[in-house]
Amino acid sequence: MPVITEIEDLRRIYKWRVPKMFYDYCESGSWTEQTFRENTSDFRKIYLRQRVAIDMTGRSTKSRMIGQDVSMPVALAPVGSTGMQNADGEIKAARAAGKFGVPYCLSTMSICSIEDVAENTDKPFWLQVYTLKDDEFMQRLFDRARAAKCSAAVITVDLQLLGQRHKDLKNGLSAPPKLTPRTLADMSWRAAWGLEMLQTKRRTFGNIVGHAKGVGDTSSLMDWTHHNFDQALNWDRIRQFRKMWDGPLIIKGIIDPRDALEACNVGADAIVVSNHGGRQLDGALSSIRALGPILDAVGDRIEVHLDSGIRTGQDILKAVAMGAKGCWIGRAYVYGLGAMGEKGVTRALEVLHKEMDMSMALCGRTDITKVDRDILMIPKGFSGDWED
C-alpha cells in the first residue's frame, strides 16, 4: 500500500490505473478550462488566520446537512459513469460514504442502478436527476428513488445542453465508447482495471437502459438523451418536479444570486453553489467566489452548500467558514475510487477530514459548526466588483 498523504497522491495512482478516456472524462473542463482551473486556484487566494495558546482538545467535525447528521460537512457529489472508473464504482463509493458517515449522491447517469446501490448498501443515499422532457420516465425515477428509500433528491439545473469538452471528443467518449486502435491499446495494459470490469455485469447505464421507453441497450441511449434533455427548462418546470417528489429537495448548479432566490421560491430545501466543476459554461465565476453574494441574497431562507474545486480539507474549512453548510466532493473521491476502489474513497475522506480538523484547530476553533469568517483573510473584491 503506497503512503497516501494528500488527494494528489490518489490522483497520480488513478491516472496510472484507469484508461485515459475515463481519466480525462473526470479531469477536464469545457472549452479552455478556465473555470475548471479557477475553481481550485481561487481557494488558494483565501488565507487562514492562525491563533495560538487556545485549548484545541475536544474537537468536533460533526454537523448536519438537510437535517441529516454527518461526521463532517461533506457529501459525495453525483458523478456520471462512476462504474467505469472502477467496477461497481457507485456501490463502492456509497459503501465508503455510509461507513464514514457522510451522504452519497447517485447520478442518474450512473452505471449501477438505484436498485443496485440500495441492495448492496445499508445506508440511505441521495439521487441526482436531470431535467428531462419525459414525464413518465421522471415520475418513475422519483418513484424508484422513493422505493429505494433515498433520503433526498437533487435536481441538476445547469445541464440543459452539454458543454463541449475537447478531451472527450478526441477520446471518442460516448455511450457506448468508440473503440479505436488507440483506445483499445490504452485499455489493454490497464490489466487490473480490465480484469475487474470483466467480472462485473454492470457496464451500462443502469438507471436508463431498460427503464426509458425505447432504450433497450446503449446503442439507443445517446439518441434518447439527445432528445430528452430539456433546453426549454424554466422554474415552472422545476415546480412540476417538486410535485413529483415529496421528500427533501436540493437544487444543484446555482451560481447567480437571482437563481438562488428562484430556488427558494420553488420550495427547495437546499441549493448547491456549483458550476458543474467547470464542465459547462467556461469563463463562469468559480464557485467559491460566487458563494458570498448568494449567501447575502438568500440569508437564512435556504440551506446553502458548495461544490467544484475542493481538493483539500482546508478548502472545506474555508467554504464552511464563509457560510456554506456543507461541501460536495466529486473529483477528490473519484481519484480514490479509480486508484483503490472502496478503500481509496475511504482514504480520500480520511485525508480531507484530517486536513480540515487540524487546520480548524490551528485556527483556534474546536467545533466545525461554529467556525466563521473570523478565521479567514479574504482579499478585498474577492467576490467581484463588476461593472453592470
Which one from 166, 226, 227, 276 is the annotated catalytic residue?
276
> Strand order in 270-273's β-sheet?
74-76, 326-329, 303-307, 270-273, 249-254, 152-156, 126-130, 105-106
What whole-number distance in Å separates Cα of residue 126 and Cα of residue 156?
13
Residue 105 main-chain phi, psi, to 5 deg? -115, 120
Neighbours of 328 (CB within 10 A): 30
Q: Give residue for cell 487490473.
A: 192
| Residues present in the chain in total | 388
Radius of gyration of the chain (CA): 20
Look at residue 132 and give its three-state secondary structure: strand
Cβ atoms 40, 46 nearer than 8 A: no
Residues with Cβ < 8 Å from 160, sequence gap 6 or more?
131, 229, 230, 231, 233
Which element (helix H / strand E) includes 347? helix 331-362
What whole-number distance in Å separates Cα of residue 104 and Cα of residue 112?
14
What whole-number distance in Å separates Cα of residue 62 and Cα of residue 28?
32
Burial of 236 (0-12, 13-18, 19+ CB in 10 A): exposed
Residue 86 grid cell? 472502477
What whole-number distance in Å separates Cα of residue 159 and Cα of residue 156?
7
| Per-residue CA distances from 136 to 31, 139, 209, 228, 376 (Å) | 34, 5, 15, 12, 48
Cβ atoms 322, 311 nearer than 8 A: no
Using DSSP, how many helices (H) and how many strands (E) does the chain show? 15, 12
Active-site residue, 166 included? no
Which sequence positions are flagged as catalytic?
276
